[in-house]
Amino acid sequence: EAGVTQFPSHSVIEKGQTVTLRCDPISGHDNLYWYRRVMGKEIKFLLHFVKESKQDESGMPNNRFLAERTGGTYSTLKVQPAELEDSGVYFCASSRSPEEKLFFGSGTQLSVL
Amino acid sequence: AQSVTQLGSHVSVSEGALVLLRCNYSSSVPPYLFWYVQYPNQGLQLLLKYTSAATLVKGINGFEAEFKKSETSFHLTKPSAHMSDAAEYFCAVSSAPGGGNKLTFGTGTQLKVEL
């Protein structure tokens, strides 16, 4: 069974540019989460999808971040325009239900220069 | 609001020695607590989860953690470290009702295992 897949693994962009991160959850997992780790600090929750609906987006930093999950399968996280403080590792995770085991992808390392 | 604090951003042990990684929590309700491990270039992997069923929780790879309410602690231990245990370890608490996967993480502890 394939795990959670994230693409790209690394992205280097300039301030003001746009970047789109993609996450493919484990097949059959309705629950998809985005987390972010900035500058070696704690990993922080960004948002939670249940199928295609945003269940909780309380952790999204600001309106430069847009997450989508059309069709309830893969998800994208777009940052537009990117700022220096957006640099970090973005993790995607999925689970069958909100209380079942969470499986993480290996993350996307985003560097904004 | 729930939170966790991990004491020690870096811990170094000798192979075969006891591993002790510290985590203290703050929660206004009975907490659901987790330990995750991240090996280099991999995603986080669940080691164990505390759900109030038992105070001593056994996880994968020989790790276990003990919930101590009086000390608000959930320290992770392993009797004998192996080189393959070198990784970063994260303590986390659920911020969702019923222990859901909206997690608040600690800052992580990097474990180094030396020969």
Mutate to test the interface with A, among B46, B102, B109 (most CBs of A within 10 A): B102
What token pair was written down for A93? 């995770």
Distance from the B51 Cα atom to the nearest Cα atom in chain A, whole angstroms: 11
Local confidence pLDDT in tens for the 113 residues of chain A: 689 999 999 999 999 999 999 999 999 999 999 999 998 789 999 999 999 999 999 999 999 999 999 888 999 999 999 999 999 999 999 999 999 999 999 999 999 99
Q: What is the pLDDT of residue A45?
A: 97
Residue in this structure with the two tokens 């800052």, named with its chain if needed: B107
Residue B64, burial from CB neighbour count under 10 angstroms (0-12, 13-18, 19+):
middle
Q: How many CA atoms lie within 13 A of B104 on its CB side?
A: 18
| Whether B80 contacts chain A with CB within 8 A | no
The CA dihedral of B109, B87, B56, B24, to the nearest 10 degrees, is 10
Q: Contacts of residue A44 in chain B, CB cutoff 8 Å?
A: 105
Contact A41 B107 (CB under 8 A): yes
| Whether B105 contacts chain A with CB within 8 A | yes
Q: Taking CB atoms and an 8 Å cut-off, how many pairs form between chains A and B?
A: 57
Q: What is the pLDDT of residue B29?
A: 83
Contact A102 B105 (CB under 8 A): no
* Contact status, residue B100 vs residue B86, Cβ threshold 8 Å: no
* Contact status, residue B89 vs residue B81, Cβ threshold 8 Å: no
- Cα B63 from Cα B57, distance rounded (Å): 9
Q: What is the pLDDT of residue A1?
A: 63
What does pLDDT average to in each consecutive run of 10 residues of chain B (115 residues)? 92 98 91 95 94 90 95 97 97 86 95 96
